[in-house]
């Protein structure tokens, strides 16, 4: 499950990718801003979740957004969350 939220106290967007599937497998979560070239990621073999990672929303207005992506790979099967976004105004996909 891809989870994302805006933390107004720190003016950051936080995200993690989690599951309840037994055992360790590849989990990943990515955050990026359209005005930055850097994408922040946590990808690895985990048994519960990847992340929590966060990115600053400093200088962004209410309509600016952060892009979010998560994935789980078990054997040859990839479960992809697709691309989503979050802003100070809310969450979308």
Per-residue pLDDT of the chain (93 residues; tens, 9 = 90+): 999 988 889 999 999 999 998 999 999 999 999 899 999 999 999 999 999 999 999 998 878 899 999 999 998 999 998 889 888 777 665
The answer to whether 68 and 54 have CB atoms below 8 angstroms apart is no
- How far is 91 from 26, CA to CA, in rounded Å? 25
The pTM is what? Answer: 0.85
14: left (phi over 0), alpha (psi -120 to 50) or beta: beta
CATH of 2-92, one of 1.10.10, 1.10.3210, 3.10.450, 2.60.40: 2.60.40
């Amino acid at each position: 499950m891809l989870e994302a939220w805006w933390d107004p106290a720190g003016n950051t967007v936080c995200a993690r990718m989690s599951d309840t599937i037994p055992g360790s497998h590849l989990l990943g979560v990515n955050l990026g801003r359209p005005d930055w070239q850097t994408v922040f990621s946590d990808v690895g073999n985990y048994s519960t979740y990847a992340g929590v990672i966060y990115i600053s929303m400093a200088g962004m207005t209410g309509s600016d957004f952060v892009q979010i992506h998560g994935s789980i790979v078990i054997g040859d099967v990839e479960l992809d969350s697709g691309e989503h976004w979050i802003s100070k105004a809310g969450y979308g996909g």
